[in-house]
Structure 1
Amino acid sequence: MGFRPGSEWHQFRTLWTYRYRKYTHIAGKFVSFALKYIHLQRLKLKAGGRPLVAIILSEQMGDIIACEPVARDVRQRHPDAYIIWVVREAYIELVKHHPDLDGYLVEKCPSERMWLIRSGIYDKVYNLHISHRKCKYCPEDPINPTADQIGLTFDNYYHRGDLLYMFSQAAGLPALTDEPRMYIPEPVRERVASLKLPARPIVIHCQSSHVLRDWPAENWNRLVQWLIDTYRYPVVEIGLKPVVHINDSQYISVCGQLNLLETAEVIRHARLFVGIDSGPAHMANAGGTESVLLLGKLFDFVDYLPYSGRYKRGEGVTILNKFGYPCAELPYEWVQQAVAQRLGQPKFV
Structure 2
Amino acid sequence: MREQGNKRILIFNVNWLGDVLFSTATIRNIRRNFPDSFIACIVPSRCYPILKGNPNLDELIIFDEKDRHKGILERFDFVRSLRGRSFDIVFLLHRSFSRALICRLAGIPERIGYYTRKRGFLLTRKIIPPPKDSLHRIDYYLDIIKKAGLKVEDRYTEFYITDEDIKFAREFLNKNLVSNKDLLVVINPGGNWLPKRWPKEYWAELADKLIEGFGAKVVVTGGYNDLSLTSEIKSRMKFKPIIACGVFNLKQLGALIKEAGIFITVDTGPLHIANSVGAKKIIAIFGPTSPKITGPYPLENVIILQKNVGCVIPCYEVKCKDNRCMKAITPNDVLKEIKTQ
TM-score by length of 2: 0.71
Secondary structure of the corresponding residue to residue 181 of structure 1: coil
- Counterpart CA distance in 2 for 1:283 and 1:123 is 32
1:297 corresponding residue in structure 2: 288
Greater displacement, 169-178 / 237-246: 169-178
Q: 1:256 to 1:202 in 2, by over 3 A?
A: same
Q: Which of 309, 314, 324 matches 2:297?
A: 309
Q: Which of 142, 157, 162 matches 1:185?
A: 162
Q: Which of 319, 326, 330 matches 2:304?
A: 319
Q: CA deviation at 1:344?
A: 2.4
Q: Which amino acid aligns with 2:136?
A: D
State the identity as a percent. 21
Query: 2:258 aligned with 1:268, yes or no?
Result: yes
Aligned ranges 1:102-181 → 2 under 5 Å: 102-109=58-65, 112=75, 115=79, 119=83, 121-131=86-96, 146-148=113-115, 149-152=126-129, 157=132, 159-171=133-145, 172=148, 177-181=154-158
Secondary structure of the corresponding residue to residue 209 of structure 2: helix
Q: 1:99 to 1:118 in 2, by over 3 A?
A: closer
**Contact 2:198/2:327 (<8 A) preserved:** no
- Counterpart CA distance in 1 for 2:295 and 2:328 is 24
- Counterpart CA distance in 1 for 2:328 and 2:214 is 17
1:245 corresponding residue in structure 2: 234
- Counterpart CA distance in 2 for 1:238 and 1:67 is 24
- Counterpart CA distance in 2 for 1:338 and 1:130 is 39
Q: 1:126 to 1:108 in 2, by over 3 A?
A: same
Aligned ranges 1:25-104 → 2 under 5 Å: 50-104=6-60
Secondary structure of the corresponding residue to residue 309 of structure 1: coil
2:122 corresponding residue in structure 1: none
Q: CA deviation at 1:177?
A: 4.9
- Counterpart CA distance in 2 for 1:117 and 1:161 is 34
2:108 corresponding residue in structure 1: none
- Counterpart CA distance in 2 for 1:82 and 1:176 is 20
Q: 1:78 to 1:133 in 2, by over 3 A?
A: same
Q: CA deviation at 1:345?
A: 6.7
Q: CA deviation at 1:175?
A: 6.7
1:229 corresponding residue in structure 2: 212
Q: Which amino acid aligns with 1:245?
A: K
Larger radius of gyration: 1
Q: Which amino acid aligns with 1:125?
A: V
1:208 corresponding residue in structure 2: 191
Q: Which amino acid aligns with 1:147?
A: Y
CA deviations 1:62-95 (Å, max 9, x no partner) are: 1111221222211111111111121111121221
- Counterpart CA distance in 2 for 1:213 and 1:133 is 29
**Contact 2:19/2:137 (<8 A) preserved:** yes
CA deviations 1:264-300 (Å, max 9, x no partner) are: 11111111111111000111111222211111224xx
- Counterpart CA distance in 2 for 1:201 and 1:217 is 20
**Contact 1:70/1:168 (<8 A) preserved:** yes
Aligned residues: 282
- Counterpart CA distance in 2 for 1:333 and 1:117 is 51
Q: CA deviation at 1:150?
A: 5.0
Greater displacement, 247-256 / 215-224: 247-256
Can you give the 5+ residue segments of structure 2 that lack an aligned partner in the other structure?
70-74, 100-104, 106-110, 116-125, 316-321
- Counterpart CA distance in 2 for 1:133 and 1:316 is 39
**Contact 2:91/2:112 (<8 A) preserved:** no
Q: CA deviation at 1:108?
A: 2.8
Can you give the 5+ residue segments of structure 1 that lack an aligned partner in the other structure?
1-48, 135-139
CA deviations 1:242-280 (Å, max 9, x no partner) are: 432156665111011111111111111111111111000
- Counterpart CA distance in 2 for 1:229 and 1:330 is 27
1:137 corresponding residue in structure 2: none
Secondary structure of the corresponding residue to residue 298 of structure 2: helix
C-alpha RMSD over aligned residues: 3.4
Q: 1:202 to 1:310 in 2, by over 3 A?
A: same
TM-score by length of 1: 0.70
Q: 1:252 to 1:303 in 2, by over 3 A?
A: closer
- Counterpart CA distance in 1 for 2:97 and 2:198 is 30
Q: CA deviation at 1:185?
A: 1.4
Q: 1:222 to 1:341 in 2, by over 3 A?
A: closer
1:20 corresponding residue in structure 2: none
**Contact 1:75/1:83 (<8 A) preserved:** yes
**Contact 2:40/2:60 (<8 A) preserved:** yes
Q: 1:253 to 1:174 in 2, by over 3 A?
A: farther
Q: Which amino acid aligns with 2:234?
A: H
1:15 corresponding residue in structure 2: none
- Counterpart CA distance in 2 for 1:239 and 1:160 is 31
Q: 1:73 to 1:303 in 2, by over 3 A?
A: closer
- Counterpart CA distance in 2 for 1:255 and 1:336 is 22
